[in-house]
Chain A
Amino acid sequence: AQSVTQPDIHITVSEGASLELRCNYSYGATPYLFWYVQSPGQGLQLLLKYFSGDTLVQGIKGFEAEFKRSQSSFNLRKPSVHWSDAAEYFCATPSRGKLIFGQGTELSVKP
């Protein structure tokens, strides 16, 4: 079955610095991949998705992600982090018809 792994439980970056959150997938064929964000006390919101085609995917809130088959990765990036980006981020992939989530990476932003 497909799965995703997020190696980093918690990351802290300074406001204005760049950000990269890691996601590794396990699946032979081209997977479907998603990034969701969860603000404190809220449900999850879709940031972006990758199905096929261009390996660099643009999402909402200035986020992008790059699919790299050679590294089995789908890392989330943002050039300049804002304090409002502090949240938990989840990578996800379908498995047997249902969406399966990674363990999540909590992002803290230092002023």
Chain B
Amino acid sequence: NAGVTQTPKFQVLKTGQSMTLQCAQDMNHNSMYWYRQDPGMGLRLIYYSASEGTTDKGEVPNGYNVSRLNKREFSLRLESAAPSQTSVYFCASNRDTSYNSPLHFGNGTRLTVT
């Protein structure tokens, strides 16, 4: 029972490099999310996808793009990484965006940009 799977677990990038963080869920959830976690800031929503085929900006979307590839997969792309994007990134999913639907989180990707 995998739940939400994120790859890679760790990544180091140089400033200006690009990369894509992958996320897949096997719970047939409609909605998927990308958060970043920084010390003292809690989790901040980057982008989300309420359903397959839709994506919307969250609190901190600048410097990121997303793709909802299909119902299972939601990727996050950094086109030109910056040191300010050093963070732990979490993917999450839920049945839908209603408040009754708890979020299920992956184990995170720790990204360092030098």
Interface residues of A (CB under 8 A from B): 6, 9, 32, 34, 36, 41-46, 49, 51, 90, 94, 97-104
Interface size of B in residues (CB-CB distance below 8 Å) = 24
- In the bound complex, residues from chain B placing their C-beta under 8 Å from that of A97 are 97
B100 within 8 Å of A (CB atoms): yes
A90 touches B40 (CB 8 A): no
B102 within 8 Å of A (CB atoms): yes
- In the bound complex, residues from chain B placing their C-beta under 8 Å from that of A46 are 102-103
- Chain A interface: which of B13-21, B41-49, B65-73, B78-86? B41-49
Add 18 more A-B contacts to A42-B108, A43-B106, A90-B42 (CB < 8 A): A6-B42, A9-B40, A32-B99, A34-B102, A41-B107, A42-B107, A43-B4, A43-B104, A43-B105, A43-B108, A44-B92, A51-B99, A98-B33, A98-B48, A101-B44, A103-B41, A103-B42, A104-B42
8 contacts between A and B (CB under 8 A): A9-B40, A42-B108, A43-B104, A43-B108, A45-B105, A51-B99, A101-B42, A103-B41
Q: How far is the CA of A43 from the CA of B33 in the complex (A)?
A: 13
- In the bound complex, residues from chain B placing their C-beta under 8 Å from that of A100 are 45, 59
- In the bound complex, residues from chain A placing their C-beta under 8 Å from that of B4 are 43
- In the bound complex, residues from chain A placing their C-beta under 8 Å from that of B102 are 34, 46, 49
- In the bound complex, residues from chain B placing their C-beta under 8 Å from that of A9 are 40
Interface residues of B (CB under 8 A from A): 4, 33, 35, 40-45, 48, 58-59, 90, 92, 97, 99-100, 102-108
For the complex of A and B, the 9 pairs showing the least CB-CB separation, nearest first, are: A43-B105, A101-B42, A101-B43, A46-B102, A103-B42, A32-B99, A44-B105, A43-B107, A94-B99
Q: How far is the CA of A90 from the CA of B92 in the complex (A)?
A: 15
| Residues A43 and B92 in contact in the complex (CB < 8 Å), given A51-B99, A94-B99 | yes
